[in-house]
Amino acid sequence: MLGRLSRALVVCLFVCLAKDVPLRAQAGQASPAGAQNPPATQNQEPDEITAVPNRPTFASTAETVQRGVFEIEYGFELARRHQNINGLLKWGMFKNLELWFLNLPMERDAGVAGIGDSGAGFKLGIISQKKIVPKIAVLYVALLPTATNELGAGATGHFVNILVSKDFGKHHFDVNEGVQWLGRPGASGFDRNYFSALSYSHPLAGKWGYTAELAGYSRPNLATPATMTLLNAATYSVSRRLVLDAGVYFAVYGNLPRATFVGGVTYSIANLYHLHPAHRPAKN
């Protein structure tokens, strides 16, 4: 079922992209991941949709999508003996409340291929950025064992993360600190590890941006070592609502491929609250 849903979403994505490309000259430039939003212009609608990417970093931004906006993030990882397609669906149910559904429609490790695990949760903004005060949010994800061919964790888990984001001019920083409870297949209880990440982003010339990150997980048990990765990536804003990314992360230590190439897209499809004319705000 997840495979059919993922294929339908991919088809929907390409249809939406085809519609969006001719409009990009009017839509203006989207913010690269972590960069400040471009200033409003006279021709810009006050509720114009702007993408809020979490990818390509492991860290998540404390910013949330606009109220009512349905946004998708899809990408891939490519390394020796490891490949996957990964997806994140986001919907702004309320202001500062974003619902999440994560899935791995394709995963391949050591020659074994199948569907990966899934997840569902939410991101809740708690404190808005003001002067020296950063944006702070909480992220919760329930990890669901939907993988085939023994590719996933094999048990339900939970992940809670504190997200802190701050802009210093055009320099943007995201700090994540979290704890993950990993279910034990065929046994009771959980293993526990901790997640830390620091990511940095900055706009470059034109529609380009740069992102770097240092991230890692602590050791969950004696059989599984801790990991740390160093990522460098570029972003390209096709429009305000469409952002592409590509880069590579390196294993500093841990049981990971030495280098993993990543790439993907973030696309704000529509404001679901504005699809019906009766829900559109009146213009003065």
Tell me the pTM: 0.81
Q: Is residue 45 helix, strand or coil?
A: coil
Question: How many angstroms separate the first and last alpha carbons of the chain?
Answer: 46
Q: Which value, to the nearest 10 degrees, does the dihedral of the CA atoms of residues 102, 255, 160, 141 take?
A: 20
- Percent of the chain past pLDDT 70, that is, above it, reads 80
With respect to residue 37, please indicate whether it lies within any of the assigned structural domains. no
Query: Residue 26 is which amino acid?
Result: Q
With respect to residue 55, please indicate whether it lies within any of the assigned structural domains. yes
With respect to residue 68, please indicate whether it lies within any of the assigned structural domains. yes
With respect to residue 43, please indicate whether it lies within any of the assigned structural domains. no
With respect to residue 281, please indicate whether it lies within any of the assigned structural domains. no
Interstrand relation of 118-127 and 112-114 (parallel, antiparallel or unpaired): unpaired
Phi, psi of 104 (to 5 degrees): -120, 85
With respect to residue 192, please indicate whether it lies within any of the assigned structural domains. yes
Phi-psi label, residue 275: left if phi above 0, alpha if psi -120 to 50, beta otherwise: alpha
Residue 129 has pLDDT above 50, yes or no: yes
- Closest by CA position to 125, among listed 59, 67, 179, 173: 67
Residue 144 has pLDDT above 50, yes or no: yes
Looking up residue 103, the CATH number of its domain turns out to be 2.40.160.40
pLDDT tens, position by position, 81-112: 999 999 999 999 999 999 999 999 999 998 89
With respect to residue 183, please indicate whether it lies within any of the assigned structural domains. yes
With respect to residue 35, please indicate whether it lies within any of the assigned structural domains. no
- Closest by CA position to 73, among listed 58, 50, 90, 48: 90
Q: How many domains, in total, are found in the chain? A: 1
* DSSP H or E run through 13: helix 2-20
User: Band of the pLDDT at 275, cuts 50, 70, 90?
Assistant: confident
**How far is the CA of 246 from the CAs of 21, 228, 263, 276, in angstroms?**
19, 20, 4, 36
| Rounded mean pLDDT, 27-56 | 55
Query: Domain range spanning residue 147?
Result: 2-30+50-268
